[in-house]
Structure 1
Amino acid sequence: MTSDAAFTYNGGKVAPGERQNLRYGISETYLGDPVRIPVTIVNGERPGPTMFLSAAAHGDELNGIEVVREVAFEWNLSELAGTIVCLPVLNVPGFLTQQRYLPIYDRDLNRSFPGNPTSTSAKRMAHAIFRNFIEPCDFGLDFHTSTRGRTNMLHVRADMGKPRVARLAHAFGASVIVDGAGSDGTLRGEATRADVPTITIEMGQAHRFERSLIDDALAGVESVFGEYGLRDHDLVRWPGWRTIVTEKTWIRADAGGIVDMHYERGSLVREGERICTITDPFKADGTPVRAPFTGVLIGVLENPVVYPGNPICHLVDLDEETARIVERRQSNR
């Protein structure tokens, strides 16, 4: 779909050739003061698709904020074909307190979409965001990080059974795509079900700006711009290798103790190799944790202490040909 019309939301519009920065009210505090989210809308002079970029649905997930801000304020958008809706901080109350969930009743904003204007605080906020800035778009990118104590390599999560979503996921150019519809209430799941194909980009850890991951994500956004013609000079990228996984395995601790990780996020591990060792404070009776199959670690523990049952790492399977490609690339670093 292409559009050469104004982008409209409840309370305003942005005509072709215009940019608007606004703080949009989605709720109120206990004192009756407005809770506002920052929004930047850039409507190009040339017709094209309407795309949203969102971050910080979980208030402590910061990497995506910088991606969205740099697209909005550092990229040359003078010849933009279409419209971009930039939402760098969805969960403003959580961002202000630097916690994952909304401080109000500890609700998860990213389990509250598409929202409901007469329901809980979280669903009212989600409704205001969804109806005004998500539903009017043709597709979108939603940026996340791992939760506290863990870190993710950059990868995409997408419902690959839907061709329009698969196109978007491939266009972003990540090496790993985790296939799945998304849980009920998630922004990407509900947007996709509302005919706005959306993918999640997972990158890094909470409470951090990680420059290398931000740069990789910006390259992915450029690639999406190229695929959909938002800018003429952006090229769709090939990451060098790619795997689409439907099954992923959380490897959990079978003993309590202190974890000594032997691999970083993004590393290839071969079946039977020791991923980490769990020891007690005296470094005695080390318990090895071995890879059950050959794959790549898309997520690993950052906080090095565990109880039995705690997740240690997130491993996705690789076929042998892809594993050899990854092995060669990692050995040449």
Structure 2
Amino acid sequence: MSDDEAFTYNGGRVGSGERQNIRYGISETYLGDPVRIPVTIINGADPGPTAFLSAAAHGDELNGIEVVREVANEWDLSELAGTLVCLPVLNVPGFLAQQRYLPVYDRDLNRSFPGKEGSTSSKRMAHRIFTNFIEPCDIGLDFHTSTRGRTNMLHVRADMADPDVHRLALSFGSNVVIDSEGPSGTLRGESTAAGIPTITIEMGEAHRFQRGLIDEALAGVDSTFAEYGLRERSAVRWPGWRTIISGSDEKTWIRADDGGIVDMHYERGSLVHEGDRIATITNPFKDDDATVEAPFTGLLVGILENPVVYPGNPLCHLVELDAGVRRVIKREQSVADGASS
């Protein structure tokens, strides 16, 4: 077995046809104990691309953890062609504290990549993750959820101007792709800049496992593996309809003009029409209602979960759709409503 068939990292080597579960040190606590992240590396016996799956760069975003764990530990990867690097919990300190950012350091790990040795705590951590487990890869899937108090339908975020990222984004098979460059310091943005096409998958809300979204994401991973030949038994997924949202439209958040208690009238993923009442904001006595209407016909990609707002707080993320996509969604919802009645 030649060296180029092995996956190597600082301190270890995974040969062709081998698998390793490791806990890799990326920092130390106040007591000098190691801060270690769990990593599973599966190096297939047959040649192929090297892919990473990562989750919990924000410590309270849990859905992706279960996606990565199930791929690594429950899928039959005996015929894997290529190498799989599974990183289910990148932000271990945040995960242990069940908070978004690195506790004590109060830094966003997902604004610290590719990191830098000799720099801040967060950048040192990011550097050790990036150089050991990201740089050797050819493609990457980075799993996230919405921030606390909000929820997202499953969608992909990708720089669609990059042909390699474009291919990766479509291979995942989500209905919605938001076309935007990864912000500076994000794993998606910095990996792509380093020549490793990477997409972000947003799914659900923080602090919980949501089985339906996890299963949908697993189908997306399977589709991506099929596109890149990692698993021949897989099939590339067509989601039934797809819309690509321009980055300039990405921040179409409808915000509250009044403070109060919110009653949302639609779920994430719903099609709403111009003029539909999306939410009602009331005071504690329910004697002063403020109605929030859809300014255009579109899809609710994300909505508020925490039902209290100040003026200016976001209520929902509404994106416009072309007429063809609207017809398909309406037809699908009609079929679903008929099946449930």
Q: Sort the TM-score into its range (normalised by shorter chain).
A: over 0.9
1 CA distance for matches of 2:268 and 2:121? 36
Equivalent residue number for residue 265 of structure 1: 268
2 CA distance for matches of 1:52 and 1:141? 6
Matching of residues 140-219 of structure 1 within 5 Å? 140-219=140-219
1 CA distance for matches of 2:178 and 2:164? 16
Give the deviation of 1:105 after TM superposition. 2.5
Aligned residues: 331
Residues 1:227 and 1:4: Cα distance change in structure 2 (over 3 Å)? farther
Alignment deviations for residues 232-261 of structure 1 (CA, whole Å, 9 cap, x no partner): 110001001100001120110000001000
Give yes or no for contact 1:179–1:245 (8 Å, CA) kept in 2. Answer: yes
2 CA distance for matches of 1:140 and 1:331? 36
Alignment deviations for residues 58-77 of structure 1 (CA, whole Å, 9 cap, x no partner): 00000000000000000000
Give the deviation of 1:292 after TM superposition. 1.2
**Superposition TM-score, scaled by structure 2 size:** 0.96
Tell me the secondary structure at the aligned position of residue 30 of structure 2.
coil
Tell me the secondary structure at the aligned position of residue 107 of structure 2.
coil
Alignment deviations for residues 16-40 of structure 1 (CA, whole Å, 9 cap, x no partner): 0000000000000000000000000
Whichever residue aligns with residue 326 of structure 1, its letter is: I
Equivalent residue number for residue 16 of structure 1: 16
1 CA distance for matches of 2:288 and 2:7? 63
Q: 1:298 aligns with which of 297, 301, 313?
A: 301
Equivalent residue number for residue 234 of structure 1: 234
Matched, 1:329 2:329: no
RMSD of Structure 2 on Structure 1 (CA) = 0.9
Matched, 1:52 2:52: yes
Tell me the secondary structure at the aligned position of residue 142 of structure 1.
strand
Give yes or no for contact 1:60–1:207 (8 Å, CA) kept in 2. Answer: yes
Equivalent residue number for residue 287 of structure 2: 284
Equivalent residue number for residue 318 of structure 1: 321
Tell me the secondary structure at the aligned position of residue 301 of structure 2.
strand
Give yes or no for contact 2:105–2:122 (8 Å, CA) kept in 1. Answer: no
Runs of at least 5 residues in structure 1 that lack an aligned partner in the other structure:
none
Matching of residues 53-202 of structure 1 within 5 Å? 53-202=53-202
Give yes or no for contact 1:4–1:82 (8 Å, CA) kept in 2. Answer: no
1 CA distance for matches of 2:120 and 2:110? 13
Stretches of 4+ aligned residues off by more than 4 angstroms = none
Runs of at least 5 residues in structure 2 that lack an aligned partner in the other structure:
337-341
1 CA distance for matches of 2:165 and 2:81? 21
Equivalent residue number for residue 256 of structure 1: 259
Give yes or no for contact 2:53–2:140 (8 Å, CA) kept in 1. Answer: yes
2 CA distance for matches of 1:202 and 1:193? 20
Give the deviation of 1:104 after TM superposition. 2.5
1 CA distance for matches of 2:333 and 2:7? 45
2 CA distance for matches of 1:295 and 1:193? 32
Whichever residue aligns with residue 203 of structure 1, its letter is: M
Give the deviation of 1:88 after TM superposition. 0.1
Tell me the secondary structure at the aligned position of residue 225 of structure 1.
helix
1 CA distance for matches of 2:4 and 2:205? 38
Whichever residue aligns with residue 97 of structure 1, its letter is: A
1 CA distance for matches of 2:41 and 2:105? 31
Give the deviation of 1:4 after TM superposition. 6.2
Give yes or no for contact 2:271–2:329 (8 Å, CA) kept in 1. Answer: yes
1 CA distance for matches of 2:192 and 2:101? 23
1 CA distance for matches of 2:226 and 2:54? 19
2 CA distance for matches of 1:325 and 1:284? 39
1 CA distance for matches of 2:97 and 2:20? 27
Whichever residue aligns with residue 115 of structure 1, its letter is: G
1 CA distance for matches of 2:105 and 2:293? 40
Instruction: Tell me the percent identity.
Output: 76
2 CA distance for matches of 1:122 and 1:4? 31
1 CA distance for matches of 2:296 and 2:113? 36
Whichever residue aligns with residue 75 of structure 1, its letter is: W
